[in-house]
A = this chain, B = another copy of it.
C-alpha cells in the first residue's frame, strides 16, 4: 500500500462534535504511509475544491493537528452544495493541476451523493482518482453502517441535557409542568430516541418521545400528556423537529429549501407548546438546543471520537489499496464486549438514502423505544474526552483559511 500523488480531504453538511477526528485520522494514516505527496484540506467542502481554497495539512505543526481531536465544528469548514454539471469540468481541472489522486469526503447522505458524482466523473473521464466517503452525522441515518460517527456524542449530549433539565422540571414546582425538548433529526428519530438513555427507573424523564417515524396525532398526543401528568405531576417530552402528520406533511414546514431541495423546518417546540396548552390547559416550556446538539464537544463520547478517527484512517487505507467509490462503514463485532471494526459499501448505495429508526424498536404506543434500542445505543456514548482549557473555556483550534469563502448570495445592501 503506497500513496502516489496528492490528496484532498474535505468536510460537508452539518458538523458533529467529532467530525475533526476523521480529518485527524486521514492525516495520521497519510503520514504513516509516508507518501511523498501533499494532503490538502479543502475549506468549505467541495466548494473549497472548486475555489482552490486549500491548506496543506501534511505539513501543519503537530500541536495544531492534535487539537483537531477535541475541536468541534468543521475545522476545514463545510457547505451544503449539490454539484452541478457545469462544475465537473472545473473540478477535473483542479484535480489535474494539483495532481490529486485521492479524494476523501466526510459527510452524510447528501455528501455521499457528491462523493459518488466525483467518483463517476473520474471514471467517465479516465482520470485516476480514488474517492472514499467517510461517514458522519448526528442523525445516524446512513444505511449499511452500524451507526454513524457523531451520533454517540450527540446522544450523550442529549441524554445528559434531558437528565439535567428533567431534574429542573421535576423539582421546581411552579405552574409550568410540561417541558418540550426539540431534537434535531429531519426524518429519522435516532437522536430523539437517545433521550431515553437518561432514564434509570420507570417513570423517569423523558416521559414521551415524538418520533418522525410515527405519524403525529394531536388527540393521542394530548391524551398521553394528560395521562402522564396525572400519574407523575409533570411531563417531559422529547420531540423530533421533523414530525409529520398522518398525511405525511411536516408539522412545521417553512417556505425555504436548502441547496439539496430539502424543506427547511422551524418551530416544532412552539407548535407542540401551543397544542399542549390548548388541549390540556397545562403550561409548557420549550428547550431548543439547536446547533448545540452537533457542536457540544465538551460532552463528546470518547468511543465516538475514536471511531471517527478510525473511519478516517480506514479511508486512507482503502484509497492507498487502489479502492474507489466506497464509503467506510462501522461493523459491530459480535462479542460480549462492545467493539466496532470497519467495513465498506458502494457510495451509490448510500447516496441520498436515509436509514430510519426500525419499527421494531418503537413501542406499540408509538411514544417510546424498546430496551433493544437502548442496548444498541448504550456503548456508543461511553468515555469522556479531556479538553485543555484556557481562561476557563475549552481551547479549540482555528485553522485559518487564507481566503474567505465566496458567499452563496451577495451581502445585503
Query: Taking beta carbons and an 8 Å cutoff, which residues of A are in contact with B?
Result: 14-15, 44-45, 47, 71-80, 156, 159-161, 163-165, 167-175, 179, 197-198, 226, 229-230, 233, 256, 258-259, 267, 269-270, 280-283, 285-292, 294-299, 301, 378, 381-384, 389, 391-394, 396, 398, 404-405, 407-409, 411-412
Stoichiometry, as copies per complex, reads 2
- The chain B residue with its CB closest to the CB of A45 is B173
Is the Cβ of B259 less than 8 Å from the Cβ of A396? Answer: no
Is the Cβ of A287 less than 8 Å from the Cβ of B288? Answer: yes
Residues of B within 8 A of A287 (CB): 288-292
Residues of B within 8 A of A393 (CB): 156, 159-160, 163, 197-198, 381
Residues of B within 8 A of A378 (CB): 391-392
Is the Cβ of B291 less than 8 Å from the Cβ of A165? Answer: yes
A259 CA to B292 CA, complexed, in Å = 32
Residues of B within 8 A of A286 (CB): 288, 290
Would you list 27 pairs from A and B whose C-beta atoms are within 8 A, ordered by A residue? A15-B168, A73-B167, A73-B168, A73-B170, A77-B173, A78-B171, A79-B172, A79-B174, A80-B172, A159-B392, A159-B393, A160-B394, A163-B393, A164-B295, A165-B290, A165-B292, A167-B295, A168-B295, A169-B291, A173-B405, A226-B412, A269-B288, A270-B270, A281-B412, A287-B288, A287-B292, A381-B393
Going nearest first, the 5 A-B pairs with the smallest beta carbon separation are A73-B167, A287-B290, A164-B295, A288-B288, A381-B392
Residues of B within 8 A of A396 (CB): 163-164, 167
